[in-house]
Chain A
Amino acid sequence: GNSVTQMEGPVTLSEEAFLTINCTYTATGYPSLFWYVQYPGEGLQLLLKATKADDKGSNKGFEATYRKETTSFHLEKGSVQVSDSAVYFCALNYGGATNKLIFGTGTLLAVQP
């Protein structure tokens, strides 16, 4: 079946450090891939997405490239800030007649000043 695997957290970084959160997926066909962010006490917010192979999604300094050959969608940011502290979820949407998201387990990022 379709699934998403994320690196386990927590990931603890100092401000201005480089961030990578790994995400790999298993899916038949060609899903779209997403990163969502959940700040403490809030719901999920879409961070970025990519709908086909080799697409790069980007937003707020975060980037992720859809790699079909490695079935990966790793999240990166060149210089993290304390305000980036949150839980990050990788997800796929395998299309079809419904808009059903399949999420990974989430990765907690803690950025220290």
Chain B
Amino acid sequence: DAGVTQSPTHLIKTRGQQVTLRCSPKSGHDTVSWYQQALGQGPQFIFQYYEEEERQRGNFPDRFSGHQFPNYSSELNVNALLLGDSALYLCASSLGGRALNEQFFGPGTRLTVL
């Protein structure tokens, strides 16, 4: 049973560019959450997708957007990249969109903005 997978593993972009990160949830899971982890910090919640809708959003600008597909996989898009967007982006999946259901994390995508 595959766990949460993310692609790509690493990515280097320049300021102003756009990036798309991808996540496949654990088998049987229907909810995907995205987190940003800056170096030396704890993960910060970006947003969550359930039934192809954004359910809740953290304190991130509109440059950050996402999508969930019918197979429950998800994409995170970031436009007009800034140096401060350099971070590890973590995807987590869970079941049913309900609070307290365990979230399983992927290995993350390391984004470097030059």
The chain A residues found within 8 Å of chain B, CB to CB, are: 4, 32, 36, 41-46, 49, 51, 89, 91, 93-106
From A36, A46, A93, A105, give the contact of B99 (CB < 8 A): A93
The chain B residues found within 8 Å of chain A, CB to CB, are: 4, 31, 33, 35, 40-45, 48, 50, 55-56, 58, 90, 92, 94, 97-108
Distance in angstroms between the alpha carbons of A89 and B35 in the assembled complex: 14
Q: Is the CB of B99 within 8 A of A103?
A: no
Number of A-B contacts (CB under 8 A): 73
Q: Which of B45, B58, B94: most chain A CB closer than 10 A?
A: B45
Q: Name the residue on B nearest A96 (C-beta).
A: B99
Q: Name the residue on B nearest A103 (C-beta).
A: B42
Q: Is the CB of A46 within 8 A of B102?
A: yes
